[in-house]
Amino acid sequence: MNENLAKTDLKNLTQEKLVQFVESLGQPAFRGRQILAWIYRPGITEFEQMTDLAKEFRAILAKTAFMSRFDEVMVERSRDGAVKFAFRLVDGQIIESVMIPEEDRNTLCVSSQVGCAMGCRFCMTGTMGFRRNLSTAEIINQVCAVRDWALAHGQPPLTNIVFMGMGEPLANFDNLLDAISILTEQRGLDFSNRRITVSTCGLVPQMRELGDRTDVNLAVSLHAANDAVRTSMMPINKRYPIAELIETCRTYRQKRRKRIMFEYTLLDGVNDADADAIQLAELLRPVPCKINLLAVNPAGDASVRSPSNERVLAFQKILRDQGYTVFIRTSRGEDISAACGQLAGQGWVDAKVEKKENAVNP
């Protein structure tokens, strides 16, 4: 029997919850803050290592709590420098994260669910269906494991976190908020809000709440400028049509002057015409924003084709001429199925995978 079943996983707890936990054990609040700082220090795996806690208290912690970590991880490196990690969860499910090193940053794309219920047409994760939400600890452990792996393998430290892996993060709202709290807490993983981006397919009520309760960046997967095309690509559009989505973006509460990032995946013959670009420019007029264009990856739906480079550039030019900041996002890690829309937990059984690294936490 798993001896941790009856214990509290401290990786699930924000600072506030950790304080409540130690108080329930008869300890003062500051012990909770002290423990938080220990938990997220690289190399700390046992309560024994928390040397400024009394020995008796450490023994109580060992009986009542544990600190989960990912012990089994599959690592696959792309030719372009992206690294895909597949983690096996305690119930045997597999999730994936992708590290994308660039000149001035090192971004980790994390998963928030096993599978996804949203069923976007161009996305492999969507074809898996929804299996379950990740716990806060399972979100956070992706970051801890990759941070430690990067440290052990001479890679630059992680600088940015994007919730663009498997799942719709806003559909796992409470665990997402707790994970953001641990990520941004100075004693936790100490990322700035500016360095964290949550991407959504457009869950309107949760978007509003995210703006009210956090100060992280928001990215919205838009992918079409009218309801007919968007609904054909993204079933969520039936529940929250474009007008409602754009109005939510227009009134989105941001503490600092920030712009929403709209993601627009171009599909040949579906949403990549000049007329689509003009309609998009009109649609986004009321929202301070930036636009990311991405040619679709050939995943999920065999009838989906990628547009030519010339088409992507022409689409960008129309938007730029209308005054928008428009990036063309080059997909990273396509050769290892780590690119956008390709994460589906296949890595574990893929014959290409040669390397199984157990010691991600050196």
Instruction: Give the nearest distance from C-beta 342 to ligand SF4 in angstroms.
Output: 10
Q: How far is the CB of 204 from ligand SF4 (least distance, A)?
A: 14
Q: Which residues are catalytic?
A: 96, 340
The separation between CA 180 and the C-alpha centre of its own chain, rounded to angstroms, equals 11
Cβ-based burial of 227 (10 A; exposed 0-12, middle 13-18, buried ≥19)? middle
Instruction: Please tell me the total number of residues recorded for the chain in this structure.
Output: 362
Using rule CB under 6 A, residue 143 touches ligand SF4: no
Q: Which is nearer to ligand SF4, 64 or 346 (CB)?
A: 346
Q: 126, 188, 333, 347: which one contacts ligand SF4 (CB under 6 A)?
A: 126
Q: Nearer Cβ to ligand SF4, position 39 or 220?
A: 220
Choices 22-30, 52-60, 61-69, 163-171; region in contact with ligand SF4 by CB under 6 A = 163-171
Q: Choose which of 15, 68, 78, 125 interacts with ligand SF4 (CB under 6 A).
A: 125
Report the C-alpha gap between 195 and 104 in whole angstroms: 13
Residue 218 near residue 261 (C-beta atoms within 8 A) = yes
Q: Which of 95, 120, 176, 296 binds ligand SF4 (CB under 6 A)?
A: 120
Pick the closer one to ligand SF4 by CB: 28 or 129. 129
Closer residue to ligand SF4, CB minimum distance, 14 or 125: 125
Name 115's bridge partners.
Answer: 130
Single out the residue of 152, 145, 153 nearest to residue 189, CA to CA: 145
Q: How far apart are CA 117 and CA 245, in angstroms?
A: 19
- For residue 331, give both structure tokens: 């997909």
Q: Give the N- to C-terminal CA distance of the chain in Å, as an integer.
A: 26
- Kindly report the number of other CB atoms within 10 A of residue 300's CB atom: 20
Query: Is residue 118 part of the contact set for ligand SF4 (CB under 6 A)?
Result: yes
Question: Least distance (Å) from ligand SF4 to the CB of residue 31?
Answer: 39
Q: Does 345 bind ligand SF4 (CB under 6 A)?
A: no
Tell me the closest approach of the beta carbon of residue 223 to ligand SF4, in angstroms: 9
Contact call for residue 116 and ligand SF4 (CB under 6 A): yes
What is the H or E stretch that residue 10 is in? none
Backbone φ and ψ of 285, nearest 5°: -50, -45
Number of residues counted as binding ligand SF4 (CB under 6 A)? 11
Which one, 116 or 245, has the nearer CB to ligand SF4? 116
- Binding status of residue 270 toward ligand SF4 by CB under 6 A: no
The verdict on 108 binding ligand SF4 (CB under 6 A) reads no
* Binders of ligand SF4 in range 164-223 (CB under 6 A): 166-168, 201
Q: Residue 361: is it exposed, middle or buried by C-beta count within 10 angstroms (0-12/13-18/19+)?
A: buried
Residue with tokens 């609904």: 231
Residues in contact with ligand SF4 by the rule CB under 6 A: 116, 118-120, 123, 125-126, 166-168, 201
